[in-house]
Chains A and B, each alone.
Chain A
Amino acid sequence: MKKRTMETSLTGHSGKLIRSIERRLFLRQGLSLGALALLSGCDLTDDESVQKVLTGMSRWNDRAQSWLFNPNKLAPEFPESAITKPFRFNAYYSEDEVRLVDGASYKLELAGLIRDKKPWTLPELYALPQTSQITRHICVEGWSEIGKWSGVRFSDFLARIGADTSAKYIGFKCADDYYSSVDMATALHPQTQLTFRFADEILPPKYGFPMKLRIPTKLGFKNPKHIMSMFVTNEYPGGYWEDQGYNWFSGS
């Protein structure tokens, strides 16, 4: 059988078609070269001007994602049988370094554009009406697991404290020094939850006692654990990983 090469397979085709294929090859190779330059060039990507360009692109990406975000579209929910056991622990520190928060003295602090900034104790929070969800936690590292979380719908809590829901952002500070923020549309999404329980038990320390924010429409690093305080603002608050270059919106 005659070996089929690009040259032989193109024999007889018009010059216009060949030019078109060459153009596509050039574009594909150009894109590969660009990607390779970014992947291989730690020196290149650490350069301040390159960082500025990449940050600008990422913020543009945030705006596009927030524009595409459908506040009524729900993340998939699953049956109890789909729950991942054991559920993975993940943090920037080891499991034995998980910060222990004293539940008896705990008070959730509120700041910024909130009418009633009275701190909340755990019994007060636990007394609020709660819902449960079995959803998929998707990590930026490339793995995902399904868990069951219970707590108060975050939009209900924001209404209760008189948060200015016309503001742009809500920020969170955590007992393990981590910090992050989300857009108001995501905060008001019906599945965004101030979570107090995991698998029907009080949230264990390794999953964020006394509370975490569960956002099934966003990547895991946008789900802060051990929340100690939150604030509402119109000033972009960023977040730890977001300030290192990870995409801020990071959601669907």
Chain B
Amino acid sequence: MKPLQAIALAAILAAGSGAWAADAPGKPMKMDEPMHGEMKKESMKKGDVKKAAKKKERELKPILEREAAGSAKK
């Protein structure tokens, strides 16, 4: 294979694998990046969802435990 052909082939393979990697799921989420989609406000970051979920969990945990204990007594 000529050097130019080899370079072209390598470039095609690299581009192809890059495209595949971009579509393949499982990459760690970049929490400080802006959110995707149309629902967000300008300042929203991907990591905001995790923070909100933790806060919600703290709020709901005692309520769910109290409700479950109350229903178990019935």
Report yes or no: A98 in contact with B39, Cβ–Cβ below 8 A. Answer: no
Given the complex of chains A and B, what is the CA–CA distance between A93 and B50 in angstroms? 12
Residues of chain A having any CB pair with chain B under 8 Å: 90-100, 111-114, 140-142, 164, 171, 173, 176-179, 205-206, 221, 231, 233-235, 237-238, 240-241, 243-244, 246
Cβ contact within 8 Å between B25 and A113: no
> For the complex, what is the distance from the CA of A114 to the CA of B27, rounded to whole Å?
35
Contact of A235 among B37, B41, B53, B67 (CB under 8 A): B67
| C-alpha spacing A240/B26, complex, angstroms | 22
CA distance A98 to B26 in the complex (A): 5
Q: Which of B36, B40, B50, B63 contacts A94 (CB 8 A)?
A: B36
Closest beta carbon of chain B to A231's beta carbon, Å: 6
Consensus secondary structure, chain A interface: loop
Chain A positions within 8 Å of B38 at CB level: 141-142
- A179:B25 contact, CB within 8 angstroms: no
Say yes or no for B68: interface residue by CB 8 A criterion: yes
Q: Looking at the assembled complex, report how far the CB atom of A147 sits from the nearest CB atom of chain B, in whole angstroms.
A: 18
Query: What are some 15 contacts across the A-B interface (CB < 8 A)?
Result: A93-B29, A93-B35, A97-B28, A97-B30, A99-B25, A100-B25, A113-B68, A114-B68, A142-B38, A177-B49, A177-B50, A179-B52, A221-B39, A231-B64, A235-B67
